[in-house]
Structure 1
């Protein structure tokens, strides 16, 4: 709530936009003042639900709205490049829902456009901005765990075949990787400071998107990572970081506001951090964006654009190893 108040335009009135707007209005000083959709009826229904002032029946009208300071791009992955470029061309900074785009080439287009215009652009990987991840960050910086040797994380949800249609659709950049695996992959990249090697194996659905994968990584200082995702079952969704002096354990749903436990090498709990609330975690990325925008910044130190691009390159590599391609990628 201490973050500066800014006026948001939301592009795309889907489920994540609803959760994000609810969190924004409940726990920050910022407000959504305009909503844009290809359907004016959907925009008006969203506006009525959240007390939003203006509804637009096109994305072009939304980004041209003079009453917004920034645009939250909440459309499907397959549309992120087009919609982020539309907002940037209108002079609007962007918070782009993860995955940032379908692939690294599209991510580079968005990043180049933002940098050319001097506009703020941030990937909405909300986990990076949560308080318990800041605790992990400080432990790593202070050497609490000694030399890091291993990281483990998984993310599985029962989303196929009876979940959202887009997850099965190659043309909508469906599959487990961009929706689910991106969480453990981004977490491990943050912990290890990058990857020196990536090896993936997995299975595909009958539509040709990935149903799940196991990804083995090696960090630049020889630490290993074991990462997994599936949209065929609910998994523990836990994470751990192990070093020569101890380990951190994060409970299930590690990517949401959570508890972090410090465990010594004899498996004794030495300390723990409990998030102040497990609700409205999406607000932290919006608050960070408002601080950055007010300070005149063009990207976040917590998730720099070059890191977003590198992670998209890694996701491309994993898809290539699995044999997954999206129509029209080039």
Structure 2
């Protein structure tokens, strides 16, 4: 990801352009293949976490023979896998070892290199297909859910919106925002972190399997045990968060109003398996939301006192459908 410009000015400039486009118009994607992929991802997450999904995980051999939404989920999964395979095939036809242009090209070249030196390497096209699926899921559905939660939570808290705008205006004036500005905007940065903590869209982390026996504290975990982290418990632990069940930006601020990094904030994971798109995700969230908040005041529809902050539980934590008023702010220039 670093070779593709993540964290560099070239990537940031593209995100800034995208953020401006989002402000100007919410365009509809007309590519039917892409739309089919997005619909497939949506259905997978709608089904995930449901009672039928749990039964399917417990008794796959039986559930494959019974009718139900799980069968459409399998079809949706195949759509996603098929999309990845088609992209790999197109890239292989155009692949140049001198000018790899994206993640798939880099991965294919690495497969070629590994096969020459290590025939047992885990780098193969099947792994690449799943990496492509993961990147699409994280880059579309999860990012969209974070934006939905952020706008909902801030619409319910106009005072927090006003503090964000005041901080931006006091520090940057009418200048455009770049990602590095998050270091000068501690309150804004704290609010965005609190959105992710308070309504983190992933209830449980990605499962991992131990490759050997291991002791962690007083717990013995044998080899080949599947470990699934409880993300909600980590981000709502009363031992680490002052008001875990409340939206409180002070969780990320010290007494002087400076931003504080919290080791308990594990929304991107940690260690060798940390989310490979963490820097890109942070950059997107910050630039999209700050530009949206500079352009619009998000407020409740007439007659609505408060939007529900209850969630719809599935494979991901989604807000209930809601309507919002995006009122253009008066230009200060």
TM-score, normalised to structure 1, is 0.27
Which has the larger helix fraction? 2
TM-score, normalised to structure 2, is 0.27
Structure with the greater alpha carbon radius of gyration:
2
